[in-house]
């Protein structure tokens, strides 16, 4: 966060997530990446 509360610029990122067949959300609070 910058001082003014806005997010510093990062170039757009579009990333495919390989879940190896599992759902993306395998259990509460756990995200497969």
Centre a 10 Å sphere on the Cβ of residue 17 and count the other Cβ atoms it contains. Answer: 9
Q: How far is the CB of 10 from other proteins (least distance, A)?
A: 6
Integer CA distances (angstroms), 23 to 2, 18, 30, in order: 35, 10, 11
Q: Which is nearer to other proteins, 3 or 15 (CB)?
A: 15
Residues near other proteins, by CB under 8 A = 6-7, 9-17, 19, 24, 31, 33
The least distance separating other proteins from the CB of residue 29, rounded to whole angstroms, comes to 14
Bridge partner list, 27: 30
CB of 33 to other proteins, least distance (A): 8
């Amino acid at each position: 966060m910058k001082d003014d509360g806005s997010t510093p610029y990062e170039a757009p990122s579009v990333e495919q997530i390989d879940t190896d067949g599992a759902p993306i959300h395998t259990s509460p609070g756990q995200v497969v990446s």
